[in-house]
């Protein structure tokens, strides 16, 4: 009896030496969800639970070569993009991924860390908007990132979120998950828009109770990585998003079990192992 193929996800993201965000969080998420993880480094950071004190680019051409080296050998099922840092890195990612046009891409348009530190250079925003978004199966911005991508005020209501998600979908991605964690209220609504097999636009509002914890470092990375893990396992996109949202809620609810650092600590990626 032939063994079942191993689901494999590939993160292309910045490194967080404190382990709570970036490709370290992505790899933890993949492992927690039963997916083998590969990783390409787009930038080095000096950061901890209190903030980012330094960001450095990797050598020119190295991101492209990392991606090609993996994809020429490893049968990757889904790609997750995180911090891309610069126009140069975005160009290298697009150039490399264009060789594998059918590979599903989950793009988390990382621009600002949880601490407020900027993680995307000013000249890279347009490259992300016009080059990377149309290549993505789904993008997962929060309301602040959506405002930058659309060059408009940040959404403060659910109806404004829905309108902005519709505008983001027109930029070319296959789907948009606009995250409402920054909104006020007891629940955190996320707006999911996608096109079905007939090309018709579909909408779903995913709601979860707001969890009172300061350990929110890496939540965006974790959610996008969980979506990629679901796609790698063969889930249809809406179900991959639903399961990722459920996983993140569980990781947040168990976050206070961890005592990491003196600032905004990480979520508990392996909360299921502790139950």
Q: Choose among 60, 59, 125: nearest CA to 87.
A: 125
The residue from 219, 222, 245, 250 that is catalytic is 219
The residue from 114, 143, 216, 222 that is catalytic is 216
Q: Is 219 a catalytic residue?
A: yes
The residue from 221, 222, 230, 245 that is catalytic is 221
Q: Is 213 a catalytic residue?
A: no
The residue from 218, 230, 250, 265 that is catalytic is 218
Cα distance between residue 240 and residue 233, in whole Å: 9
Q: Is 116 a catalytic residue?
A: no
Q: Is 216 a catalytic residue?
A: yes
Contact 221, 13 (CB under 8 A): yes
60-69 long-range contacts (CB < 8 A, ≥24 apart) are: 60/88, 61/92, 63/12, 63/89, 63/92, 63/93, 63/96, 64/92, 64/93, 64/95, 64/96, 66/12, 66/40, 66/41, 67/10, 67/12, 67/40, 67/92, 67/93, 67/96, 67/97, 68/96, 68/99
DSSP for residue 207: -
Q: Is 218 a catalytic residue?
A: yes
The residue from 20, 42, 107, 179 that is catalytic is 179
DSSP for residue 129: I
Contact 224, 80 (CB under 8 A): yes
Which residues are designated catalytic?
179, 216, 218-221
């Amino acid at each position: 009896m032939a063994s079942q193929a191993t689901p494999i996800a590939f993160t292309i993201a910045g490194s967080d030496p404190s382990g709570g965000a970036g490709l370290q969080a992505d790899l933890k998420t993949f492992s927690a969800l039963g997916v083998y993880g590969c990783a390409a480094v787009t930038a080095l950071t000096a950061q901890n639970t209190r903030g980012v004190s330094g960001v450095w680019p990797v050598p020119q051409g190295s991101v492209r070569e990392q991606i090609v080296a993996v994809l020429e050998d490893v049968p990757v099922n889904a790609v997750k993009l995180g911090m891309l840092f610069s126009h140069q890195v975005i160009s290298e990612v697009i150039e490399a991924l264009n060789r594998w046009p059918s590979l599903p891409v989950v793009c988390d348009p990382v621009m600002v860390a949880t601490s407020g530190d900027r993680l995307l250079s000013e000249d890279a925003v347009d490259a992300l908007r016009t080059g990377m978004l149309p290549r993505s199966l789904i993008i997962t911005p929060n309301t602040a990132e959506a405002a930058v991508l659309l060059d408009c005020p940040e959404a403060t209501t659910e109806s404004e979120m829905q309108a902005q998600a519709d505008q983001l979908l027109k930029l070319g991605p296959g789907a948009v998950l606009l995250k409402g964690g920054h909104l006020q209220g007891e629940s955190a609504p996320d707006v999911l828009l996608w096109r079905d097999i007939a090309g018709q636009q579909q909408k779903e509002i995913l709601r979860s109770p707001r969890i009172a914890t300061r350990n929110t470092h890496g939540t965006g990375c974790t959610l996008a990585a969980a979506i990629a893990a679901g796609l790698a396992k063969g889930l249809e996109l809406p179900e991959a998003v639903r399961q990722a949202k459920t996983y993140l809620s569980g990781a947040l609810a168990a976050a206070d079990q961890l005592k990491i650092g003196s600032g905004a600590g990480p979520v508990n990626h392996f909360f299921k192992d502790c139950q």
